[in-house]
Amino acid sequence: MNFSLISRPNRSILCLAFLISFGGSVSAFADPGPIVSAAADKSLSVPAVVNKVRPSVVTILTRGMPAAPSQNQSGSGSGVIIDQTGYILTNNHLVAGVKSIVVGLSTGRLTPGRVVARDFLLDLALVRINAQDLVPATLSPSPALEIGESVVAIGNPLALKGGSTVTVGVVSALDRSVLTPDGETLYDLIQTDAAINPGNSGGPLVDLSGRVVGINVAIAPSAQAISYAISMDAVYPHIESMIVRGSIYRPDLGFTPLTVSPSLMASLGLEGDRGVLALKVDTTQAAGMGGLQEGDVITAVDQHQIYNMGDFWHALLRNGDQSAVQLTLQRKNGQLTIHLPKPSQPRTSP
């Protein structure tokens, strides 16, 4: 199913070709919002949930790289404050290519922000602001959701004046995966029927205990009331790494994976139109010693078909007791399989 990312561009063409690096150092994950167990009571009323979470929800106004000198590329989305030192969690697709950010707090105050971490595979980003008396949201590291339970989406759709908008729905499905417009796959998604609109990107999805259980990311434009949020199961383990490193930690495989396109496959003279290309293979590490060569295209991991890097990392780091993984490779002289030691799970800090 096709779907749309839900930041709100002010022009019809989004400029994603240029990535801007922002300077400045970051500190460890300090003074986070309260963390509570999955067994927390979910009996709050919707107004009580809103009163608890709304002070933590922000509007993110962006100005990006213009597609032409006469254009101003600007847009808006949402975010959620995760600690008192000014870290805000949002979506990568909202801030990719921007050259300036202004954050609107629930009090109505506007303050400059800067991007301190991004990850396009999980579609996550951290923005930091310098402000006092911030109210961090309560995060749920491992949500215990049931299909049919009520959830609340809070954000700033359509950049409407007067602060954030609240919508209510139910959890429609769990553990969804969808293909993004740039050809990558998002995993660990919560599907909900809460009304989500352009500008909700990066805003929180909250259960009836007032805990953030997901980050709103996408809608299915051809369907009625189908929207998605990245589960905090997938988000929380990486927050500290994003703060400390400015990126999400992933194991060093001894090669660089790259999503391939049909045109790239054709230029390499390989059959097929999908997979992950192996570049910069280090012959002294496990992958190279196990038989992986520069230019190989990985088409399956343990029999799971691979179309892009999202598929690749999801299959490679799947839970399981096996000590090795099987890679199916497409090479110019045909198809083969190799076995490599299974990499360790990503750490949350360096």
Residues taking part in catalysis: 93, 123, 201
Both tokens of 338, joined, read 């190799």
E runs forming strands in 96-225: 98-104, 110-119, 124-129, 138-139, 150-155, 165-179, 185-192, 204-206, 211-219
d(CA 220, CA 7): 14
d(CA 56, CA 90): 12
The answer to whether 194 touches 172, Cβ cutoff 8 Å, is no
SS3 per-residue string spanning 238-260: HHHHHHHHCCCCCCCCCCEEEEC
Give the list of residues 6+ apart from residue 19 with CB closer than 8 angstroms, or none: 96, 97
Residues near 284 by beta carbon (within 8 Å), at least 6 away in sequence: 254
